[in-house]
Amino acid sequence: MKRNHSSHHKNNQNPPRKWLIIPTLTISLLLLFILLLLPHTKPSSSSPSFDNFTTQLNLPKLPKFAYLLTGTKGEVSQLKRVLQATYHPRNYYLLHLDLEASDEERLELAKYVKSESVFVVFRNVMVVGKGDLVTYKGPTMIASTLHSVALFLKRVGDWDWFVNLSASDYPLFSQDDLLHIFSFMPRDINFIEHTSNMGWKEYQRARPIIIDPALYHSRVSSVYYAKEKRSLPSSIKLFTGSEWVVLTKPFLEFCVWGWDNLPRTLLMYYTNFLSSNEGYFHTVICNHKDYQNTTINHDLRYLRWDNPPKQHPLSLKLEHFEDMAHSGAPFARKFDKDDPILDKIDKELLGRSDGHFTRGGWCVGNNLKGNDPCAVYGNRDVVKPSLRSKILEKLMLKLLDYENFRPKQCK
């Protein structure tokens, strides 16, 4: 069947509707966002009614996400699967295999991107040709992330949120659901789990001085420790949290272009910091007046931990499915390669078949005889949120509740 991006809609008598299903909580979400834009004072019983605003509001513009999908040696097939599950023509995708992966694996990934006609038409998937050397627990992890952000800023300009995912992550909602709910979100909101309570990290992360050999050599090796310790900085407050983030373009421009000294100063400080990817963005955002009130203290990931927590979360299995599906988190981690729970997510949450894209409003083909419905595509601005989007919306309402939102910012 001939694949065509535009001809499908030329034969339609009516233009496509951007939203075909509107969750019942949307009005509540809109009102809550209006409240967030008002001065940061607690509403009183005499606050004016906001009902009249709803009649003046049009449906907001759909956002765009910039996805960084990262992997290492032996993870090409997993990275492809994450790409297929998260793909939408509106978004942008950067695929990065670190230097541990072979040139053959990088070539395989690049060939796949070039051979998929949807990617060719929409031109929104990029592959890093020369992988960064990334040391586990070293500053090269945050350096690689900043490099990827710089590529997004240089190559594409019209995106709203940056999302980092690894090959062991997976989405729990379709992109149509995500785009629909995030279209009602203020575009200056950053999702980053953070705390200034360093706890054990003060003596195991902040005070030790480490050297990452990957900064000077082309082979991966473990970080090594200096004998000296250092005191905590006095001019800034250190924050720590999850390395998995959903950050806005304006904040990341601030980090990369560095018109203020803070991002550069902290980047130098975190060069000798263990697991700097769990502290750099958190400390920058919470130490600058323009951004410290833009945070939501959540990483939008579903994880399971040992008790007490270890370095990495538990691998998710079938017994975690129900709790995960109703958590409202857009993404989950971590998953073992080809674990049966991924097939269950595809079938019951994403409506995706093996090797196909997650179906969205942009897909206009049929799935008869195992065909990929996204092999025939129409308008990428047509979004068909499912009933599951209400679960995501419920989480957003909870995170943005006045009693929950402000008190958890950069504390």
Within a domain: residue 28? no
- pLDDT at site 7: 38
pLDDT bin (cut points 50, 70, 90) of residue 141 is very high
> What is the pLDDT at residue 33?
44
Q: Which residues pair with 377 in a beta bridge?
A: 363
**Domain containing residue 118: CATH number:** 3.90.550
Interatomic CA distance for residues 248 and 1, integer angstroms: 39
Query: How high is the pLDDT of residue 200?
Result: 86
**b/e map 167-201, b = 16+ CB within 10 Å:** bbbbbbbbbbbbbbbbbbbeebbbbbbbbeebeeb
Residue 304 lies in a domain: yes
Q: Is the pLDDT of residue 110 over 60?
A: yes
364 contacts 7 by C-beta, under 8 angstroms: no
First to last CA, the chain: 56
The set of residues, in sequence order, having a beta carbon less than 8 Å from that of 65 and lying 6+ positions away, is: 88, 90, 91, 92, 159, 160, 161, 162, 163, 175, 178, 179, 182
> What average pLDDT does range 113-130 have in this prediction?
95
- No. of H helices and E strands in the chain? 16, 14
- How confident is residue 154, by pLDDT bands cut at 50, 70 and 90? very high
pLDDT band at 211; cut points 50, 70, 90: confident
Q: Is residue 289 part of a domain?
A: yes
Q: What is the pLDDT of residue 82?
A: 98
Q: What is the pLDDT of residues 14-30, one digit of tens each?
A: 344 344 433 434 434 44
Task: For tokens 């200034």, name the residue.
Answer: 196
Question: DSSP readout, 292-354?
Answer: TTSEES--SEE----SS--SSPPPP-GGGHHHHHTS--SEEE---TT-HHHHHHIIIII---T
Q: What mean pLDDT do residues 63-79 have?
A: 97
Asked if residue 206 belongs to a domain, the reply is no
Residue 318 has pLDDT above 70, yes or no: yes
> According to the model, what pLDDT value does residue 25 have?
46
Task: Answer yes or no: is 213 within a domain.
Answer: no
> In the predicted model, what is the mean pLDDT of residues 348-375?
89
Q: What pLDDT, in 10s, does the model give residues 169-191?
A: 999 999 999 999 999 999 999 99
The total number of structural domains that make up the chain: 1
List of residues 6+ apart from 213 with CB closer than 8 A: 135, 219, 221, 222, 223, 224
Is position 232 within any domain? no
Contact by Cβ (8 Å): 364, 12: no
Angle, to 10 degrees, between the axis of helix 140-155 and the axis of helix 249-257? 110
- Whether 44 is covered by a domain: the verdict is no
- Please tell me whether residue 55 adopts helix, strand or coil conformation: coil
* Mean per-residue pLDDT of the chain: 85
C-alpha 146/C-alpha 247 separation (Å) is 12
Q: What's the rounded Cα separation, in Å, for the pair 396 and 156? A: 28
The pLDDT of residue 58 = 65
Question: In terms of residue numbers, what domain contains 369?
Answer: 65-197+237-408
Residue 56 lies in a domain: no
51 pLDDT exceeds 50?
no
